[in-house]
Amino acid sequence: MSNGKAFSSFTVAAAALSVLAAGLAPAVAGPVQMPGLEERTLVSGTGLAYRIFIAAPEEPPPAAGYPVAYVLDGNAVAGTLADLARAQGVRQGGLMAPAVLVAIGYPGDLAINMPRRAKDLTSAPATPGEGSWTYLKPEQTGGADAFLAFIQDELKPAIAASYKVDPKRQALIGHSFGGLFALHALFARPDAFSLYVAASPSLWWANGAIAAEEAAFAARPPAGHRRLLLTVGAYEQELHPGLRRQPDAPELARKLAQRRMVDGARDLAARLDALPGRPVEVTFAILPGQTHMSAAPHALLLGLETFLGPEGEEP
């Protein structure tokens, strides 16, 4: 008798769950819509398609127009930007000024589209012996100049056509390869943005080829004022304690030490800060407790706070 009662209860519960699942199915079958987030597809002049996510403020634009932040790896950060735009504005008691937040992503649902970003975000082609990157052929990398031209000549005008923006307050935010790209943009087109955020930049790429771009920039430093926020996780050069029992821990530790992410970023910040006339105002931050991947959201928030917070106002 007790067994029959238990079976009956289980049957009722299972039927209820089936009805609930059937009711939920249509709601979760399609794309999830996020309030305050607009998505567009923009095809570049070279025929490459990009997913562009835009989080625009509800507040009216200031007299000079909205500041605009362009954030790389858009598929991975679009939701975060939408939440920040809704929850961190001045109206909600936050300190971030209203801004248009633009996330640049790629077709498909991958958070990180490695083949596309490897092409767009590196200015030098892959070189032999770069570990996990050996599957990339040289022609699949080194397209940063074309990508930067797309942002400058196609994406920025498209955003300016839809919103009143302040051309003097524009930021570029990137992590890892995106951080490397932010440095390339600073060295190649220093007047393109007022703030460059290079989070955990892959300075080691192509045997440190970015050093030649830095040297050319330092030899002919531009006039004017631009800012660089350079960040790195504290555990990007040594193994995080939580990862020391991983089977590949020794190899990972060796790779982290070889790439010198922390020391390299610190040295770069010091060199740029010491340039005559200080053409770049450098802020360097080590993010406590963070690894290469966990540092990404922390750096994004810090970059937006630096750009849109009270101290981020242009003089």
Domain CATH number, residue 304: 3.40.50.1820
- Whether 2 and 147 map to the same domain: the answer is no
Instruction: For residue 239, give the amino acid letter.
Output: L
- Whether 213 and 179 map to the same domain: the answer is yes
- What's the confidence (pLDDT) of residue 7? 30
- What's the confidence (pLDDT) of residue 125? 87
- What's the confidence (pLDDT) of residue 236? 95
- Whether 220 and 173 map to the same domain: the answer is yes
Question: What are the beta bridge partners of residue 228?
Answer: 196, 282
- What's the confidence (pLDDT) of residue 208? 93
- Whether 204 and 102 map to the same domain: the answer is yes
C-beta separation of 239 from 295 below 8 A: no
C-beta separation of 190 from 279 below 8 A: yes
Quote the CA–CA distance of 313 and 311 in Å, as a whole number. 6
Q: Identify the three-state secondary structure at position 147.
A: helix
Structural domain that includes position 18: 1-30
C-beta separation of 112 from 76 below 8 A: yes
Quote the CA–CA distance of 132 and 123 in Å, as a whole number. 18
Quote the CA–CA distance of 172 and 292 in Å, as a whole number. 19
Residue 179 structure tokens: 């951080």
- What's the confidence (pLDDT) of residue 115? 87
Please list the active-site residues. 176, 238, 292
- What's the confidence (pLDDT) of residue 109? 87
- What's the confidence (pLDDT) of residue 260? 95
- What's the confidence (pLDDT) of residue 31? 58
- Whether 136 and 214 map to the same domain: the answer is yes
- Residue-level length of the chain: 315
- Whether 8 and 142 map to the same domain: the answer is no
- Whether 12 and 54 map to the same domain: the answer is no
Closest CA to 165 of 96, 66, 71, 60: 66
- Whether 10 and 53 map to the same domain: the answer is no
- Whether 19 and 136 map to the same domain: the answer is no
Opening angle at CA 303, ends 164 and 130, nearest 5: 115
- Whether 302 and 234 map to the same domain: the answer is yes
- Whether 84 and 101 map to the same domain: the answer is yes
> Would you give per-residue pLDDT tens digits along the chain (315 residues)?
334 333 333 333 333 334 334 444 444 445 557 777 899 999 999 999 999 999 998 889 999 999 999 999 999 999 888 888 777 655 555 678 889 999 999 998 889 888 899 999 999 988 766 554 556 677 789 999 999 999 999 999 999 999 999 999 999 999 999 999 999 999 999 999 999 999 999 999 999 999 999 999 999 988 888 999 999 999 999 999 988 888 888 998 999 999 999 999 999 999 999 999 899 999 999 999 999 999 999 999 999 999 998 765 554
- Whether 13 and 139 map to the same domain: the answer is no
Contacts of 152 (CB under 8 A, 6+ apart): 189, 192
- Give the pairing type, strands 100-105 and 49-55: antiparallel
Closest CA to 299 of 236, 248, 219, 242: 236
- Longest Cα–Cα distance of the chain, Å, equals 90
pTM of the model: 0.86
Quote the CA–CA distance of 283 and 230 in Å, as a whole number. 6
- What's the confidence (pLDDT) of residue 88? 62
Provide the number of structural domains found in the chain. Answer: 2
